[in-house]
Structures are given as C-alpha cells and as structure tokens.
Amino acid sequence: MIDIKLIRDNPDLVKENIRKKFQDAKCALVDEVLDLDKKNRAAITEVETLRAKRTSLSKDIGALMSKGQKDAAEKIKAESQAIGDKIAALEVEQEKLQADIRRRMMTIPNIIDASVPVGRNDSENVEVERFGDPKVPDFEIPYHVDIMERLNGIDLDSARRVSGNGFYYLTGDIARLHSAILSYARDFMIGRGFTYYVPPFMIRAAVVEGVMSFAEMDAMMYKIEGEDLYLIGTSEHSMIGKFIDTIIPEEKLPHTLTSYSPCFRKEKGAHGLEERGVYRIHQFEKQEMIVVCKPEEHMDWYHKLWKNTVDFFRTMDIPVRTLECCSGDLADLKVKSCDVEAWSPRQKKYFEVGSCSTLGDAQARRLKIRVAGKDGKKYFAYTLNNTVVAPPRMLIAFLENNLRADGSVRIPVALQPYMGGQAEIK
C-alpha cells in the first residue's frame, strides 16, 4: 500500500505506474481515492469545528447555571446535544470513508523501481546473468518422477488415493536427500549471519492482508474453516507478520532472518506436463530468508539476498541464472523482483527455483511496522524476502544435474555430511 500523500501530491505518477503494470482499469481508483479523501478531510475539519463549538457551549452553560439562568442554560444544552449527535453521525461517515479509501488503496499497486523493465507478463522478463556452465550429457535424462521411481524414492499413486492430485510420498534416499537439502540450507544461511526461525504455520486474516494482495490471497491461501486462520503459503508471511504493530529501534536494524516451514498453496490453474510430478504441488517445504531494514539499505540487501541463493545452488554444481521480472510480472506490493532459475538438462532450459523481492514499505505500512529513528521521528521499515531453497523444485534440478549414465546420482561434497557421508544414490 502506497502513501496516500503521494496520491494527493502526484496522482499522475501513480497512474503512470499503474499503466506500466498494464492495469489501466485501476487508474480510476486514484480519482476515487482523491474524491473520498477530500470528503474525509472535510468531515474531519467539520468535526473539529463542532467539537470546539461544543466546548465553548459547555463553558456558556456553566456560566449561565452559576447565574441561575436555568432556562437559557437548558436551551444551550439542547444545542450542544444536537452538535453531539451531528459529530456522532460524522464519525460514522468518516469510518465508512476511511474504509472505502483503504479498500481502494489496498488494490493500487506499489511504485516500481525505475530499473524494472516494462513488459506485460513473464514472457518479457529479462535475463541478467548466468552462473555455471549449463551442460547436456550424452545420455538421455528421464523425467524427474521416473528418476525418483527408479530409485524407489517417490509414491504418487498412494498420495493420490490419500490426498488427491498435487501430493506425494517421498521415501528412502530421496526422502533423506530432501531433508538433507533443507538442513544444509539452514546451516548455509546461519553461516551468512542470519538468525534461524521455525515460525507458526497458520496466520490470521489481518496478517494475510498485510503481506500480500487480495488476488494473491485468493489464488494461494487455504482458509481454516470456522477459524480466523489461514495456512501459510511461505514462511515469509509469518515472519513479516512477527513485526505487526511494532516500533523497532533504528539501532536494532537490520533484522536478517532465515526460516523453515511447510508451505500450502491452492495453485489455481496449475496445468501442463511438469505439473505431473513435483514441480507444482499443494504442499512442500522451504527455507526462506527475510530482511527488515532501513529504506536506504533495501537495494543493497536485495542484491545480497539473490546472491545467497545463487551461491547455495552453485555449491551443489547446479548452473543457475537470474531473471529480472518485468513490470507486468510483479505482484502489486513489489518494488523490484528477480527469479533465480536452475538449469534443466532434460528440458534444455532454465526453470524457476526461487524469487527475490523488495517490497519497499508496502507490507510495513499495512502491518504498521515502524522504526524509531535516533532523532525521535518514526518511519515505516522496508521488507525483503527470498527463497533459499524449495526442495521439490530443487530435487528436480539436483537429480537432473547430478544424474550419471548408469542411473546413479552423485552427491556433491557440500551435501555429503547431511547424507551420513553418502557420496551417491544408487
């Protein structure tokens, strides 16, 4: 959510930003907010004037009563009561106006960074840099589910009977590999100075509305029936929610956190060949990184965060690239975002394994996360998040890039301690 002062002072800039995101229909919201804000401020002024008048009348009533002029005092009392009734009615009107303003403000997209390329959708995202040499071996790479099944590592049929499509059982060495990758990711981030967390896996509606747009919420979140609780789609949600309605001393920033959690997603509209396996599923586990910082530091942290993911994948000999997300591919709260994509030797292309984003003060403004500056002034914090690793997709990249011609899978040196010293899976 952007600052309403920006809409008051520069509505054309806000509209241009909306057009860059190819959401032209939302331009009307800017004019609606301006109109509602004008009415709200007029109501505030009128209430203040009426309160001042009522205070003055109260003094008059006291003076008249002291002089024994009861009838005159009662007349002024009636006038004061009428003013009170009008104030109450205006306060109700104010509440409605403020709710209408907030509802529209929650839908107006955040101002994107000037460096973000303009494009309609993810087909117009821009490659930034490649890390590692993408190779295609001289033997056929099977589909990732086939690799897992040959290693007795996955059972999709049983999961389908138990839970439906989009779920799986991992078994044996593949299950161990899954856990090893998460444990390694945890220690990798601790080694980079991040504090490890295991957060709540359910959050209240107020937190959901604070961390994401309504469209994202509808497409992702599972609601707990009869409870004010949602299953998290990523631990970013509970980790940013941790700071809701708090004032952070400036000297305590930045907060650098890494969190493990299961993630639950509806994945509305998921389709295609890759969805047959574990690329797009309803339940998975992930290691995340989150930063809460001062505004002037957020771009430095943005570059540090995506580099952490690149470095993590490269320790396991997986080629990756970074892809700058264009304006039309950015979620409404994001200022700037890039995807980290891993190389798929089977498909001979890269695919997304993580996403790094800075959201400016959008989440902090919604959740009232403020910073107390050394000068005594308060301002909104900036928030960032990035995927360290999500093993379902990571497993695909790992297996394809470490598969040998005989069907065995090499375990890179960095991961071997988490596999009990195992150097391969046969």
Query: What are the angstrom distances between the C-alpha of 236 and each of 77, 200, 207, 300, 357?
Result: 56, 11, 11, 19, 11
In a domain, 113, yes or no: no
Residue 274 predicted with pLDDT over 80? no
In a domain, 115, yes or no: no
- At residue 351, the 3 state secondary structure works out as strand
- Neighbour tally for 343: CB within 10 Å: 26
Choosing from 54, 73, 105, the residue where a domain stops is: 105
Q: What is the DSSP string of 261-281?
A: EEEE---TT--SGGGGTTSS-
Mean pLDDT to the nearest integer, 332-345: 96
Instruction: Give the closest residue to 151 by CA, choosing from 405, 399, 426, 420.
Output: 426
Tens-place pLDDT, residues 8-37: 999 999 999 999 999 999 999 999 999 999
Q: So what's the pLDDT on residue 75?
A: 87
Same domain, 179 and 270: yes
In a domain, 265, yes or no: yes
| Contact by Cβ (8 Å): 204, 229 | yes
What's the domain count of the chain? 2
Same domain, 34 and 141: no
In a domain, 110, yes or no: no
CATH code (residue 262): 3.30.930.10
Residue 77 CA to residue 120 CA, distance in Å, equals 63
Predicted TM-score (pTM) of this structure:
0.90
Q: Strand pairing of 283-293 and 424-425? A: unpaired
Q: So what's the pLDDT on residue 273?
A: 36
- Structure-token match 């104010």, residue found: 94
Choosing from 74, 105, 136, the residue where a domain stops is: 105
Instruction: Give the closest residue to 313 by CA, choosing from 209, 402, 239.
Output: 402
Residue 127 predicted with pLDDT over 80? yes
- Token pair belonging to 423: 């150097």
Same domain, 44 and 136: no
Same domain, 294 and 401: yes
In a domain, 117, yes or no: no
**Strand order through the sheet with 246-249:** 246-249, 369-372, 378-380
Q: So what's the pLDDT on residue 217?
A: 78
Q: So what's the pLDDT on residue 275?
A: 53
Same domain, 183 and 248: yes
Residue 233 predicted with pLDDT over 80? yes
Same domain, 29 and 177: no
Tens-place pLDDT, residues 130-172: 999 999 999 999 999 999 999 999 999 999 999 988 899 999 9
In a domain, 116, yes or no: no
- pLDDT band at 269, cuts 50/70/90? low
Same domain, 81 and 43: yes
Same domain, 220 and 363: yes
In a domain, 111, yes or no: no
Tens-place pLDDT, residues 67-105: 888 888 888 888 888 999 999 999 999 999 999 999 999
Choosing from 53, 78, 105, the residue where a domain stops is: 105
Residue 278 lies in domain:
122-425
Same domain, 286 and 333: yes
In a domain, 112, yes or no: no
DSSP type of residue 318: -
CATH code (residue 15): 1.10.287.40
Mean pLDDT to the nearest integer, 277-294: 93
Q: So what's the pLDDT on residue 72?
A: 83
Same domain, 93 and 127: no
Same domain, 90 and 197: no
Same domain, 95 and 191: no
